[in-house]
Amino acid sequence: MRRRQTRTGTVISSKMDKTVVVRVDTLVQHPLYKRTMRKIRRFMAHDEGNRCQEGDVVLIEETRPLSRHKRWVVKKILMRGGERFSPGEETDLVPEEKEG
Domains in the chain: boundaries: 6-84
This prediction's pTM:
0.78
pLDDT digit string (tens) for 18-62?
999 999 999 999 999 999 999 999 999 999 999 999 999 999 999
Q: Which CATH class is domain 6-84?
A: mainly beta
Give me the phi and psi of 53, to 5 degrees please: -125, 165
As a 3-state breakdown, the chain gives helix, strand, coil percent values, each rounded to 5, of: 0, 50, 50
